[in-house]
Amino acid sequence: MMFRFDEALPVLGRTPGTLRALLQDLPAAWTGATEGPNTWSPFDVVGHLIHGERTNWVPRVEHILRHGDAVPFPAFDREAMFTASTGRSLGELLDTFDRLRTESLARLVELALTDADLARRGLHPQFGIVTLDQHLATWVAHDLTHISQVVRVMARQYTDTVGPWREYLSILGRAQGKHRPFVPEGWPSVVPRIFAAEPRQLVDFVKLVFDAAGDYQDDRPSVLLIGGSVIMISDAEARGPTSAFLYVYVEDADATCQRALDAGARSLEPPSDMPYGDRRGMVEDKWGNTWQIATNRARS
C-alpha cells in the first residue's frame, strides 16, 4: 500500500478521539497499568505521542523541506514523557494531544505538499537516507502501533483472571514490544553483519534486489532495512571478508531472484515450490554471500 494523503490523514485525525474514547475517566488501575518493569502504561503512551507531535512528525517534515538530506534530523528522545508528563493528569494529556494533532494536520495543509514532494529525501541519524513518504507512513503506523499497545496492556491485566479462556485470547499471549533500552529502537536482538571487500557495491546490490532502505556509510557499518529486518554491512579491511547465508522473505521470489541475477549474482537453485509452503530460489552474489529468497504461500 503506497502512502496517499487522502487515505492517511483521516487515520491521523482519528487517533486523539480513539484514545479519548478508550481512556477518558477510566480508573488508574487501567491507565497506569504496565506489562512489567521497563514497559509503558497507557498514560505513558499518550505522553510519548505528545512529544512526537512537538519534536518529530511535522518538525521533521519541515526539516526535510528546509535541508533535504544535507543535515541529519535532531535525535528524538522516545522517553521524554517520563519527565514531561510528571504532575499532569491523563485528561490534560489527552487535551494536549488533541490540540497538538489538530495543529499538526493544519500545518500539513498549509505546506500544500504534493505527491511529487513524497520523494524528497531526509537524513535520519540512525537509518541514513529516508524519504518523506516513508516518514509520513511511519507516522500513521506509529499511531496504530501505540493504539494497539494501549489495548494490549489493558487486556493483559486480566491474563490470569480469564482462566482457561486464555487459550482463545491471542492478545494475552507472550508479551510483545517490551521496552529494551539496550537495543536501538526498532531493531531485533540479533542482527546479521557482513564484512565485504567492496561494501559500497554490496550495499547497492542489496538495495536494488530487495528494495532495502538505508545507504552506504563509510565511517560506520551501513544499516539496511529489508522489510522488518536489519542487516549491517562493513568494510572488510579491518577483519577480512566474511560470507553470509541469509533466508529472505519477499513478496515475489521469482522477480527478486531475477533482479539478483540481473545485478550479477549467479543462480544456485531456480525458484521452486517447497513442501512447507515456500516458493524459494537461491543465488550467490559476487562477494560470496548466499541468499535464499522465498515467498510463503501457505497462508495465501
pLDDT exceeds 70 at position 300:
no
pLDDT at 180: 60
Helix axes 42-55, 57-67, angle to 10 degrees: 20
Domain ranges of the chain: 5-172, 193-296
Burial 65-96 (b: 16+ CB within 10 A, else e): eeeebeeebeebeeebbeebbeebebeebbeb
Of residues 160 and 139, the one with the higher pLDDT is 139
Which residues are registered as beta bridge partners of 234?
A: 195
Q: Which of these, 68, 54, 57, lies nearest to 117 by C-alpha position? A: 68
pLDDT at 181: 66
pLDDT at 185: 66
Maximum distance among all Cα pairs of the chain, rounded to whole angstroms: 62
- Of the ranges 59-73, 103-117, 156-170, 193-207, which one carries the lowest mean pLDDT score? 156-170
pLDDT at 15: 98
193-296 CATH fold: 2,3-Dihydroxybiphenyl 1,2-Dioxygenase; domain 1 (3.10.180)
pLDDT at 177: 46
Pairing of strands 229-235, 193-196: parallel
pLDDT at 176: 45
- Of the ranges 15-29, 43-57, 113-127, 157-171, which one carries the lowest mean pLDDT score? 157-171
Quick check: 227 and 249 in contact, CB under 8 A? yes
pLDDT at 130: 94
User: For 66-69, which contacts have Cβ atoms below 8 Å and span 24 or more sequence positions?
Assistant: 67/122, 67/123, 68/120, 68/121, 68/122, 69/121, 69/122, 69/123, 69/129
User: For 96-102, which contacts have Cβ atoms below 8 Å and span 24 or more sequence positions?
Assistant: 96/50, 97/16, 97/19, 97/46, 97/49, 97/50, 97/53, 98/16, 98/17, 98/20, 100/50, 100/53, 100/54, 101/12, 101/13, 101/15, 101/16, 101/53, 102/16
pLDDT at 238: 72
Residue 208's φ and ψ, nearest 5 degrees, are -70, -45
Which of the 8 DSSP states describes residue 26? -
Other C-beta atoms within 10 Å of 183: how many? Answer: 11
Cell of 5: 494523503
5-172 CATH fold: Four Helix Bundle (Hemerythrin (Met), subunit A) (1.20.120)
Interval 235-258 mean pLDDT = 92
Render pLDDT for 259-278 as a digit per residue (tens, 0 to 9): 999 999 999 999 999 988 89
Render pLDDT for 11-61 as a digit per residue (tens, 0 to 9): 999 999 999 999 999 999 999 999 887 789 999 999 999 999 999 999 999
Cell of 98: 488533541
Pairing of strands 222-226, 229-235: antiparallel
Calculate the average pLDDT of the chain: 92
pTM score > 0.75 for this model? no
Euclidean distance between CA atoms 134 and 132, whole angstroms: 5
Cell of 207: 538495495
| Amino acid (1-letter code) at residue 79 | E
Pairing of strands 266-273, 245-249: unpaired
pLDDT exceeds 60 at position 174:
no
